[in-house]
């Protein structure tokens, strides 16, 4: 096997996603809608894997974190208290000549509308306005009236739904600090410079966890969560050389944060934030206490009252989705044929195994393959494929990252064994057909690391 040395580009990933139906531009028959995407079958399956592995690590395998699913449209006073109405803004400038709008703090990353090789403001024709603050929340109305009294927002983060439920959860789930509340759900931001495929979109699925701790322990828990989250990204199979931690300096930190570090991934567009881990202090619970009049505090068994501090790891499924595909994508030559292979961690892969009858018109092979498929699909997402040459079927599965293919062939009819082909090594071995399910369960539990060079 010879690997082709080209570094993967975002265009390559976009094209694979389109070709294999992972992701396509939304509202395409109407000309699309900027930076909005729809997910096809394999995209949905990959997102499901990411979401369920996050929930497994953050809720299922822990005693100190519970789940929540809060509403997307909240009482607008929530966003006053959180500071989003006043402060969730980007500074923008308009160019009166080309009519484009740019982030004032990102001019060096933008292209002039008339001369794309130049930055906005670099040509004598550019005529930029002074920066103005632009709020990123999408506005809507609740109920029949469309006046100021009915104004509301689509949530720009899931976190506030957690803070306003602190009291409910602490009482009803009988939890005491340190404990966490985890939530997965859609967030919406009217991003002005979206782009780079799914990296910055206007509608995305956040996975956030707010961990409430005694104030004196906040720094220690911040370090703990940073390490845990980095370890989790490694456990998805992302290569170490493509991950790093970057601490925010004071100027970069959000108004609520006393410490923030980004877990960054080396995307084709350079090192960028994959996940943020923030020490939000007591900011949120204090703000909601003041604005709502409901005390969001903890009273310990000795009667001491305190406002817990909050450590927050926050990430979107979209950023992980792109990182996984970039990390996994490989082109290589096998024999005299090129293959595209997604070396995804088997637990992440959209399809866990393919079941292939070597000669589909042979009734013995077809029946056995179908029966194996019926058995395995009860436990995992697996595919049955009986169309085309076997080599082509293997390559179709390689391209969507299916880790194993079970082939029913002539020998199966003699001794009830099948071949299992490994996506990464291409090694083949024979297994009793009756033992395939157990073999697959064991294989999915095994450690895996990318065979690609770091
Ligand atoms: N509650 C804190 C919060 O929302 P953030 O840094 O604005 O903090 C957290 O967002 C995470 O959400 C980011 O690390 C990133 O993974 C993801 N994210 C933010 N904006 C995004 C966008 N426009 N498109 C895709 N993912 C986004």
Residue 193 is predicted with a pLDDT of 73
Per-residue tokens: 289 = 């206490």
With H, G, I as helix, E, B as strand and everything else as coil, classify residue 165: coil
294-328, pLDDT tens digit by residue?
Answer: 999 999 889 999 999 999 999 999 999 999 999 99
List, in sequence order, every beta strand (DSSP E) within 282-381.
Answer: 298-299, 305-306, 309-316, 329-334, 337-342, 353-357
Residue having the nearest C-alpha atom to atom 26 of ligand 1: 316
With H, G, I as helix, E, B as strand and everything else as coil, classify residue 195: strand
Residue 301 is predicted with a pLDDT of 86
With H, G, I as helix, E, B as strand and everything else as coil, classify residue 31: coil
Atom of ligand 1 nearest to the CA of 206: 12
Question: Ligand 1: which of 154, 276, 311, 322 to mutate, most ligand atoms within 8 Å of CB?
Answer: 276
Residue 322 CA to residue 71 CA, distance in Å, equals: 27
Residue 428 is predicted with a pLDDT of 97
Q: Sorting pLDDT into bands at 50, 70 and 90, what band is 2?
A: low
Half-sphere exposure of 364 (CA within 13 A, CB side): 10
Residue having the nearest C-alpha atom to atom 16 of ligand 1: 315
Answer whether 68 contacts ligand 1 (Cβ < 6 A): no
Q: Sorting pLDDT into bands at 50, 70 and 90, what band is 18?
A: very high
Nearest Cα neighbor of 58 from 314, 264, 257 is 314
Residue 6 is predicted with a pLDDT of 66
- The structure's pTM equals 0.94
340-351, pLDDT tens digit by residue?
Answer: 999 999 999 999
Contacts of 424 (CB under 8 A, 6+ apart): 341, 343, 403, 451
Answer whether 263 contacts ligand 1 (Cβ < 6 A): no
Answer whether 314 contacts ligand 1 (Cβ < 6 A): yes
The rounded percent of the chain whose pLDDT value lies above 90 is 86
User: Sign of the C-alpha dihedral, residues 301, 302, 306, 310?
Assistant: negative
User: In this structure, are residues 47 and 317 in contact, taking their beta carbons and an 8 Å threshold?
Assistant: yes
153-171, pLDDT tens digit by residue?
Answer: 999 999 999 999 999 999 9
Answer whether 208 contacts ligand 1 (Cβ < 6 A): yes
Intra-chain end-to-end CA distance of the chain, in Å: 17
């Amino acid at each position: 096997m010879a690997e082709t040395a080209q570094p993967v580009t975002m265009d390559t990933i976009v094209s694979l996603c389109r070709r294999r139906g992972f992701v396509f531009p939304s509202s395409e028959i109407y000309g699309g809608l900027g930076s909005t995407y729809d997910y096809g079958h394999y995209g949905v399956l990959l997102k499901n894997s990411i979401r369920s592995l996050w929930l497994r690590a953050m809720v299922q395998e822990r005693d100190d974190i519970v789940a929540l699913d809060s509403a997307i449209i909240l009482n607008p006073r929530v966003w006053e208290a959180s500071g989003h109405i006043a402060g969730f803004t980007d500074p923008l400038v308009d160019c009166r000549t080309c009519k484009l709008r740019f982030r004032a703090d990102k001019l060096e990353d933008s292209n002039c509308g008339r001369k794309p090789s130049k930055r906005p403001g670099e040509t004598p024709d550019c005529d930029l306005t002074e920066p103005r603050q632009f709020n990123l929340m999408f506005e809507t109305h609740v109920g029949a009236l469309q006046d100021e009294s009915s104004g509301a927002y689509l949530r720009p983060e899931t976190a506030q739904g957690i803070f306003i439920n602190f009291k409910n959860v602490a009482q009803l789930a009988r939890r005491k600090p340190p404990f966490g509340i985890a939530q997965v759900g859609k967030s919406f931001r009217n991003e002005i410079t979206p782009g780079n495929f799914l990296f910055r979109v206007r509608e995305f699925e956040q996975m956030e966890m707010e961990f409430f701790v005694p104030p004196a322990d906040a720094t220690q828990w911040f370090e703990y969560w940073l390490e845990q989250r980095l370890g989790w990204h490694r456990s998805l199979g992302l290569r170490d050389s493509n991950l790093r931690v970057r601490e925010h300096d004071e100027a970069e930190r959000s108004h609520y944060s006393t410490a923030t570090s980004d877990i960054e991934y080396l995307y084709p567009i350079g090192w960028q934030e994959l996940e943020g881990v923030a020490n939000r202090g007591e900011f949120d619970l204090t703000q909601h206490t003041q604005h709502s009049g409901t005390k969001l505090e903890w009273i310990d068994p000795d009667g001491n009252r305190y406002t817990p501090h909050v450590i927050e790891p926050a990430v979107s499924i979209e950023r992980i989705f792109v990182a996984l595909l970039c990390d996994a994508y490989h082109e290589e030559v096998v024999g005299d044929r090129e293959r595209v292979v997604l070396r995804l961690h088997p637990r992440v892969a959209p399809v866990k195994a393919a079941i292939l009858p070597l000669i589909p018109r042979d009734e013995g092979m077809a029946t056995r393959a179908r029966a194996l498929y019926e058995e395995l699909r009860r436990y995992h997402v697996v595919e049955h494929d009986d169309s085309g040459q076997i080599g082509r079927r293997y390559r179709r599965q390689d391209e969507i990252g299916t880790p194993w293919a079970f082939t029913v062939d002539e020998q199966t009819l003699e001794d009830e064994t099948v071949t299992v082909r490994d996506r990464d090594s291409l090694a083949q071995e024979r297994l009793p057909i009756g033992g395939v399910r157990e073999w697959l369960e064991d294989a999915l539990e095994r450690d895996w690391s990318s065979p690609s060079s770091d």
